[in-house]
Amino acid sequence: MRVSREEYQQILESELHKTCSEKTVDHALKPRNMGSIEVASGYAYITGPCGDTMEIWLSVDNQIIEQATFITDGCITTIAAGSMITEMAKGKPVEEAMQIGQQDILKALDGLPEESEHCALLAANTLKEAILDYYEYSRDKWKRNYKKQW
């Protein structure tokens, strides 16, 4: 039996509702800030313990994160975590965004199933690395030209 795209979407949504909060389902199915930033001020690519990866790009102006985007090859809850953390980081001073941790993401998503809580850790670690990358190059921007490109 063939399942249409709409039917598949409905099945996925009702399956997700069995284990995930409304907010998680919303961010998982309608992820915000997906994609890359061509000329980023900060970037990180992290592989989590499960083997899934996340990339985060930051656009920073005057110490404020103006834009944050992500891409992941992880599961649906990783997509929700990437969507939420980029929303949380936008508009914040880099120093404040550096404090966003796994628990903050879990709280903002109204929790994740226990077996998926590490997805929020992957998102938090990737953001921290992207901010560290920003700090590394913020003083000597020209050095980025000599960094291996992503």
**Residues recognised as catalytic:** 50, 119
* Smallest gap from residue 8 Cβ to ligand FES (A): 21
Q: Which of 115, 108, 64, 116 is nearest to 85 (CA)?
A: 108
* Smallest gap from residue 20 Cβ to ligand FES (A): 12
Tokens for 119?
């997805």
- The answer to whether residue 113 forms part of the interface with ligand FES (CB under 6 A) is no
Total site size for ligand FES, rule CB under 6 A: 11
The residues near 109 (Cβ < 8 Å, ≥ 6 apart) are 21, 23, 24, 27, 80, 81, 84, 120
Identify which of residues 19 and 67 has a Cβ nearer to ligand FES in the complex.
19
* Smallest gap from residue 5 Cβ to ligand FES (A): 24
Distance of alpha carbon 14 from the chain centroid: 24
- The answer to whether residue 122 forms part of the interface with ligand FES (CB under 6 A) is yes
What is the end-to-end Cα distance of the chain in Å, rounded?
Answer: 42
Asked whether 77 and 116 are in contact (CB, 8 A), the reply is: yes
Near ligand FES by CB under 6 A: residue from 31, 42, 74, 82: 74
- Contact residues toward ligand FES (CB under 6 A) are 48, 50, 52, 74-75, 77-78, 116, 118-119, 122
